[in-house]
Amino acid sequence: MTNNTSEKIPIYSVEKGKILMMKKIEKTDDEWKQILTPQQFNVARKKGTEMAFTGKYHDCHEDGIYKCVCCDIDLFDSKTKFESGTGWPSFWAPVANENIKTEVDKSHMMIRTEALCALCDAHLGHIFDDGPQPTGKRYCMNSASLKFVKRP
């Protein structure tokens, strides 16, 4: 059952051009399975990954916004997307720092910075310090965790 806590957090909306206070989203695995494909569930909810060069957005060059596949908040603008050569969609910055949270990931005998959706805690991918300027960051994301909406 969905947790209806009253905790609200700041989330930036590209459409509204401002920060909105939104209620944190918490659902059970069964609730997520009802709205996500098996691959989306594995990646976004169970911290899986898709194989390099297989995700639908790694080679996408259209203009728009990448949103969280689980809760639909804005995560990345296509204007910050770049070709990293890694096989995953890569961005040098999120639409707003408020929309992404990070955690230390010590899985697979590595220490990495995991990127999560700030509103629903979906696993998005990892952040590395080998991206282009102006940030020097590479937000290496899974297509399965994203939903692309073309800019009108």
Q: Which amino acid is at 18?
A: K
HSE at residue 17, side-chain half, CA atoms within 13 A, is 0
Is the separation of the CB atoms in 81 and 133 below 8 Å? no
Is the separation of the CB atoms in 144 and 51 below 8 Å? no
Selecting among 68, 71, 120, 140, the annotated active-site residue is: 140
Catalytic residue at 117?
Answer: no
Q: Which amino acid is at 27?
A: K
DSSP-H helix ranges across 19-106: 29-35, 38-40
**Any idea what the Cα angle at residue 51 is, between residues 58 and 62, rounded to 5°?**
10
Structure tokens, 143: 């297509």
Active site residue ranges: 140
